[in-house]
């Protein structure tokens, strides 16, 4: 009988140490500094266009749209190709799938785009990050949506 047939968790999921709230918080702050720096470099030239006035596209400004795209692409691409962002690298954290297989685009689109969008758009949902502090596997809502976990690298 194989391990899957016996319905035992694999040893790779037993030995995982899940990253807690504060480690993830500090890593996220580092990531925000990096994203804001990238946006600053990319968006400064737009201040010299249109005599310094913001260019609007409906309800949004061009700088707001570009800044949002950079924000979501940073988290999406870094997590897809490295399983971690620069902030997570500094603090020794890694994003894994629930079943410990390699991350798929669909997992990351739900985790990094849909999950983060929900947290940023609705003010009250910021408090849902507290799930990380009190959950057994330290999952935020965006982790639950994407079927992912954040673990400490060993």
pLDDT in tens, 93-151: 999 998 888 999 998 998 888 887 877 777 777 777 777 888 788 888 888 888 899 99
Token pair of 65, please? 């749209």
User: Residue 154's pLDDT band (boundaries 50, 70, 90)?
Assistant: confident
pLDDT value for 23: 93
Q: What is the phi/psi pair of residue 99, to 5°?
A: -95, 10
Token pair of 135, please? 């959950």
DSSP 3-state of 3: coil
User: Residue 51's pLDDT band (boundaries 50, 70, 90)?
Assistant: low
Residue of higher predicted confidence among 135 and 20 = 20
For the whole model, what pTM was predicted?
0.79
């Amino acid at each position: 009988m194989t391990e899957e047939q016996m319905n035992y968790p694999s040893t790779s999921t037993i030995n995982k140490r899940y990253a807690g709230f504060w480690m993830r918080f500090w890593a996220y702050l580092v990531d925000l500094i990096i994203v804001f720096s990238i946006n600053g470099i990319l968006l400064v030239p737009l201040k010299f266009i249109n005599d310094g006035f913001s260019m609007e596209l409906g309800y949004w400004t061009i700088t707001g749209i570009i800044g949002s795209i950079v924000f979501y692409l940073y988290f999406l691409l870094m997590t897809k190709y490295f399983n971690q962002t620069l902030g997570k690298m500094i603090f020794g954290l890694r994003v894994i799938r629930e079943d410990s297989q390699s991350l798929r685009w669909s997992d990351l689109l739900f985790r990094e785009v849909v999950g983060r969008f929900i947290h940023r758009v609705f003010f009250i949902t910021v408090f849902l990050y507290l799930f990380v502090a009190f959950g057994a596997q330290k999952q935020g809502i965006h982790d639950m949506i994407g079927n992912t976990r954040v673990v400490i690298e060993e």
